Amino acid sequence: MKTPLLVSLLLTLVSVGPAWAQDGTIYPLEAPDEPGAIVLGTGGVEGQTAPETWFRQWGDPMARNISTATLTPVLPDPDKANGAAVLVAPGGGFRWLSMGNEGWEVARALADRGVAAFVLKYRLQPTPESLEAFKDSMNRTFAAAAQSTDGEDAAPPPRLRWDLSNQLEDAEAAYALIVERATEWGVDTDRLGMIGFSAGAGLTMHSTLHSTKMDLAFIGPIYGGMGPVEVPAGAPPMFAAIASDDFLFQGQFGVIESWYEAGAPVEFHLYQNGGHGFGLGNPDRTSNRWFDAFMYWLEVNDFLQAAKTD
């Protein structure tokens, strides 16, 4: 039987990771330097008492208990810069952020192609302060979710839906800061989009559907939820990618159909394999080429060059 969506939506931490990694053990990690990170000043997290801490799993640095949102610009060499810009939202089930695999690495790849990238470290749901308690809480969640699928007739657990007010406020503040400093950072605000991964894809979609302050030129939800949505008028072009062996796919095309039926431009790549959380790509997986496809999509849609003026 198909696994309900809740199984692993909370459990990416304990059940998936880059396919080449052999050790999913969680290790404590001293907070790395984040040169250039700008505090967004959007406030804290209600009920958050534990400090921000970091850990490493699957070789990737991850942060949790984030109560202070930041934005880190990763700018291209001026000789390469083309004026396009992307706000990058890492994933992690809104309980942690995969800062390396889905943040800094993606931002550097964009900058290498001349695109200004901005990594959003947004506020998260509180988790236990100690790493052991955090792991235990995730394991209990996994066990409970797995137990709910033991019988064919068992009703799937309800899909968890976070209140994304904090995260939307962080995304809007990041967008406003990029617009404010566009001249300094070489950004053409008419070519400013947003890309997100897993929960970050959810935040990208949430921002697109609900923000009254962001005017995104394009969006790129990568291995995000596939359910149908109500597409707003004037929705931006969307590039979406997911692997067929990703637990978030489950044969759904709802969000793609919603965009298509609304008459909004949409490109969709369903890869044979890649699993969940593949970032820029895993060895020997068909999903490895998604970033090249995304860049070509930006090029064909004229997001990589300034509009001609008379």
| Domains of the chain listed by start with CATH number | 6-300 (3.40.50.1820)
Torsion of CA 167, 168, 172, 178, to 10 degrees: 40
Among 266, 229, 223, 226, which Cα is nearest to 250's? 226
109, 291 contact by CB (below 8 A): yes
Closest C-alpha to 241, from 204, 201, 206? 201
Alpha helices in the chain (DSSP H): 6-9, 12-15, 105-112, 131-147, 165-180, 182-185, 199-210, 254-261, 290-300
The pTM of this model reads 0.89
Q: Read off the tokens for 61.
A: 């640095």
How confident is residue 136, by pLDDT bands cut at 50, 70 and 90?
Answer: confident
Say which residue, 137 or 248, is predicted with more confidence: 248
pLDDT tens digits along 198-211: 999 999 999 999 99
Secondary-structure breakdown of the chain: helix, strand, coil percentages, each rounded to the nearest 5? 30, 20, 50
Relative to beta strand 116-121, strand 70-74 is antiparallel
Strand segments, DSSP code E, in the chain are 27-29, 38-39, 53-57, 60-64, 70-74, 85-89, 96-98, 116-121, 192-197, 219-222, 238-243, 266-271
When mean pLDDT is compared across 87-91, 245-249, 260-264, the lowest value belongs to 245-249
Token duo for residue 279 = 């970032």
CA 43 to chain centre: 21
Choice among 16-25, 59-68, 159-168, 244-253 with the minimum mean pLDDT: 16-25
- Mean pLDDT is highest, among 19-28, 38-47, 155-164, for 38-47
